Amino acid sequence: MAKIKLDDIRKVYAGGVEAVKGVSIDIEDGEFIVLVGPSGCGKSTLLRMVAGLEAITSGTAQIGARTVNDVEPADRDIAMVFQNYALYPHMSVYNNMAYGLKNRGTAKAEIESRVREAARILEIEDYLDRKPRALSGGQRQRVAMGRAIVRDPAAFLFDEPLSNLDAKLRVQMRIEIKKLQKSLGTTSIYVTHDQLEAMTLADRLVVLNGGQVEQIGAPIDVYEKPASTFVASFIGSPAMNLLALQKQGQSWQLQEGEGLEIELDVAAEEITLGVRPEDLHIIPQGQTSHGVLTAHLIVSAVEPVGAESYVHGTLGNGGPEVILRAPGKAQFAIGSKLDVTATPDKLHLFDGNTGKRMEITPMRVVA
Ligand SMILES: Nc1ncnc2c1ncn2[C@@H]1O[C@H](COP(=O)(O)OP(=O)(O)O)[C@@H](O)[C@H]1O
Ligand SMILES: [Mg+2]
């Protein structure tokens, strides 16, 4: 087990693509870090630089007390688990798991005890004699995990290990990986484009965008205080509603449509107002709002998803599309008009130009 320290890491591929643009992260011993972001944002490149599978263009990577920039992958004391499992098809499960240890000259009895222990933890003891082709996707993924575990490395590096599994199995394996990581206490870096997987697995998330860190933090902190509009719209599903506002004298109004006015003491030229779908509430007819934001919503669609419904509509008079989460099976006719509200502590403000979060609470919002 070890700390991992990345200091201003960059990667420029031959041909000039700058895939990683100066990333710094301090990872604690035993911590589970998830790198999350859209496809192409540099997650795999960053992970592969830690693993030693890609050269680091500039910056330093430390695993434990060692700077590993020039250390061969095999000597970095890490174990990597890939999406495609990368098992040897002609070897039995046992030999797939034992292979790395044999190569290192580990004693036979030691190999046997490590493989059996890993197989027990992963519940694949009954398959040790099978070839990978005789296993299901979930079982193969367990073997790939087993191969990492037997090495007892300083760190696990995972690159989208669950992407090839069906939805149900993915949820099950996600929970298993989380439990396993906690019981082994091995420092882990896990790459995914799936924000829910990231939220549920991570001790801390690293949200990447275009090769740069947008935000690092505990999942709930990132969810509650996204550092930018990018993070606000990437983490959480359905995504946070983002509304462009323009200054009109002393107050702020929707750029499109009418029906929303906010008093704010802000120096910016343009701001973006964010509100999560679960923080927009429908005011029952005949009641008045306790919130600071109230507006009309013209319903355009209702999606029942079981325990709740996603209500889509346009805000104000011809304003932007928003979505809110209503409990149970909401039944609203298309075109009906609802009054919606949100409390000031649930409103997020971002600079309209930079997209960065602003720590200001709106004073008064009138519809
Ligand atoms: N071997 C390579 N040569 C050139 N460009 C690459 C190479 N590998 C990845 N890239 C580019 O680097 C960027 C980041 O890729 P990658 O790290 O695979 O992203 P992610 O894993 O987040 O989807 C992308 O623009 C990708 O096209
Ligand atoms: Mg990738």
Are 282 and 206 members of one domain? no
Q: Using alpha carbons only, what angle is made at residue 164 by residues 148 and 218, rounded to the nearest 5 degrees?
A: 65
Are 58 and 20 members of one domain? yes
Predicted confidence at residue 199, as pLDDT, reads 97
Residue 99, classed as helix, strand or coil, is helix
Are 155 and 191 members of one domain? yes
Are 216 and 344 members of one domain? no
Q: Read off the CATH number of the domain in which 71 is found.
A: 3.40.50.300
Alpha-carbon Rg of the chain, whole angstroms? 25
Whole-number Å distance between alpha carbons of 35 and 307: 30
Are 217 and 291 members of one domain? no
Are 343 and 264 members of one domain? yes
The closest residue, in CA terms, to atom 25 on ligand 1 is: 40
Q: Cα(42) to centroid of ligand 1, in Å?
A: 6
The crossing angle, in degrees rounded to 10, of helices 108-122 and 93-103 is 140
Residue 191 · residue 160 · CB < 8 Å: yes
Q: Using CB atoms within 10 A of its CB, is residue 129 exposed (0-12), middle (13-18) or buried (19+)?
A: exposed
Predicted confidence at residue 325, as pLDDT, reads 96
Q: Is the previous residue joined to 277 through a cis bond, with omega within 30 degrees of 0?
A: no
Whole-number Å distance between alpha carbons of 362 and 154: 47
Question: Per residue in 98-117, pLDDT tens?
Answer: 999 999 899 999 999 999 99
Are 268 and 206 members of one domain? no
Are 208 and 253 members of one domain? no
Q: Cα(173) to centroid of ligand 2, in Å?
A: 19
Pairing of strands 187-192, 32-36: parallel
End-of-domain residue from the set 233, 261, 291: 233
Q: Using CB atoms within 10 A of its CB, is residue 196 exposed (0-12), middle (13-18) or buried (19+)?
A: middle
Mutate to test the pocket of ligand 1, among 12, 35, 45, 50 (most ligand atoms within 8 A of CB): 45
Q: Judge if pTM exceeds 0.75.
A: yes
End-of-domain residue from the set 181, 203, 233: 233
Point out which residues pair with 67 in neighbouring strands: 62
- pLDDT under 70 in the chain at which residues? 256-261, 263, 289-293, 361-367
Say which residues have a Cβ less than 8 Å from residue 107's Cβ, sequence separation at least 6: none
The closest residue, in CA terms, to atom 8 on ligand 1 is: 45
The closest residue, in CA terms, to atom 10 on ligand 1 is: 19
Are 49 and 173 members of one domain? yes
Are 219 and 294 members of one domain? no
Mutate to test the pocket of ligand 1, among 10, 12, 17, 50 (most ligand atoms within 8 A of CB): 17
**DSSP of 176-240:** HHHHHHHHHT-EEEEEES-HHHHHHH-SEEEEEETTEEEEEE-HHHHHHS-SBHHHHHHSSSSPP
Residue 207: CB atoms within 10 A of its CB come to: 25
End-of-domain residue from the set 202, 233, 264: 233
Question: Per residue in 261-319, pLDDT tens?
Answer: 676 777 777 889 999 999 999 988 777 766 656 778 999 999 999 999 999 999 877 78
Count of domains for the chain: 2
Atom of ligand 1 minimally distant from the CA of 160? 21
Residues with CB under 6 Å of ligand 1 are 13, 15, 17, 19, 37, 39-45
Residue 40, classed as helix, strand or coil, is coil
Are 198 and 247 members of one domain? no
Domain housing 335: 239-366
Predicted confidence at residue 261, as pLDDT, reads 67
Q: Read off the CATH number of the domain in which 361 is found.
A: 2.40.50.140
Question: Per residue in 51-80, pLDDT tens?
Answer: 999 999 999 999 999 999 999 998 999 999
Residue 5, classed as helix, strand or coil, is strand
- Token pair for residue 8? 């201003």
Ligand closest to Cα of 18 equals 1
Residue 205 · residue 219 · CB < 8 Å: yes
Are 33 and 49 members of one domain? yes
Predicted confidence at residue 137, as pLDDT, reads 87
